[in-house]
Homo-oligomer: A and B are copies of this chain.
């Protein structure tokens, strides 16, 4: 891929914390204001893979809110999520992205049916691509988690996913929402020949679980119970206070444990909305395990991070890799991207080390694709 021809990143939830951090951060790195901490696509792992350059990315998206991106960035800086001074330093890029964010849906009192909504969204994406992104566009869902889908109705995340297919764009589901996982999208997905990836970005507690789980297994230690509590504020905390949304989130966390430990274990996971914490998150895990002769031991972990800052570099990595994967002719579930997800699509290992190795395989495929 020519690494300098503009490529589009279309964000579902484009005015949220993650999206704002993605846009501001990409601009900050392009301008040399910050090193690319957290981006694997800037490490030697993906050297010579023909990925689109950071400075070639252009942003747009859907959102149902209308707070301007520069204002959102100021709010994030006040909360310590973005460095002070950064919103001013990248004001031009924030304004440019803001101009490409269009209303999503369905809005209250929206009388468009599913087909009309999908077509409207697809049209938005096609228009953006035609004007701004000659190298193509990737669609990434970074909206708040929605409750589990119910019956035949397509939930909003699936409307957007369908629009991505129709607009011919690779699709990444960074949330546990339904997205492409709706039965009615199986056929159009297969026909599209597009690559896709997901679900649910692995940012904090589950990241840890994906390295600690294998540790216990590799040491033949018997985990008896794995319990966890997450405290978070921000929009995510409020969204996950909805038990249905939390259930969708937790399924991914538990899958990681079951897959790496080889068996289900006791223990619950709580997600608490604590508005006082803002965009910061604290996750406590308590792991009771048996050692030699049944000796009872305990490992506890406390992870204190900022979810937007953890998610943003992964989103940029995924956008670049999927743009390149599309160019290289890949289609279907990109299983090698399990490293990035709690509940990965496609085949692949659950331990982080093996998932990292799979990224190397992907890099090799992309290099070959380049050679074509």
Question: What residues make up the interface of A, taking CB atoms closer than 8 Å to B?
Answer: 21, 24-25, 28, 34, 36-40, 42-43, 77-78, 80-84, 86, 207-208, 211-212, 214-215, 218-222, 224-225, 227, 229, 231, 266-268, 270, 272, 274-277, 282, 284, 286, 288, 290-295, 297-306, 309-310, 312-313, 339, 351-354, 356
Contact = CB atoms under 8 A, between A and B. Distances in A.
A82 B291 CA distance: 11
Number of copies: 4
A310 B83 CA distance: 24
Contacts of A312: 292
Given A277-B288, A286-B284, A298 B304 contact: yes
A294 to B, nearest CB: 6
Interface centre among A24, A82, A229 (most CB of B within 10 A): A229
A149 B289 CA distance: 38
A351 B225 CA distance: 25
Contacts of A77: 84
15 contacts: A34-B293, A37-B221, A37-B294, A207-B215, A218-B339, A229-B229, A274-B288, A284-B300, A291-B306, A298-B305, A299-B302, A299-B304, A300-B301, A300-B304, A353-B354
A28 to B, nearest CB: 6
Contact of A291 (B28, B37, B84, B292): B37
Q: Is the interface of A mostly helix, strand, loop or mixed?
A: mixed
B291 A309 contact: yes
Contact of A227 (B211, B274, B294, B305): B274
Contacts of A267: 272, 274
Contacts of A208: 215, 299
Nearest to A302: B300
A34 B294 contact: yes
Contacts of A81: 295
A42 B220 CA distance: 9
A88 to B, nearest CB: 12
Contacts of A301: 299-302
Given A293-B28, A297-B304, A304-B297, A229 B21 contact: no
Contacts of A302: 298-302
Given A276-B225, A286-B231, A299-B301, A293 B207 contact: no
Given A221-B38, A274-B225, A288-B274, A293 B43 contact: no
A221 to B, nearest CB: 6
Nearest to A267: B274
Contacts of A290: 37
Nearest to A229: B229
B297 A305 contact: yes
A357 to B, nearest CB: 8
A299 B282 CA distance: 10
Contacts of A310: 291-292, 297
A284 B212 CA distance: 16
A308 to B, nearest CB: 8
Contacts of A225: 231, 274-277
Given A215-B352, A266-B274, A299 B303 contact: yes
A96 to B, nearest CB: 19
Contacts of A39: 220, 292
Lowest 4 A-B CB distances belong to which pairs? A353-B353, A224-B276, A295-B309, A297-B305
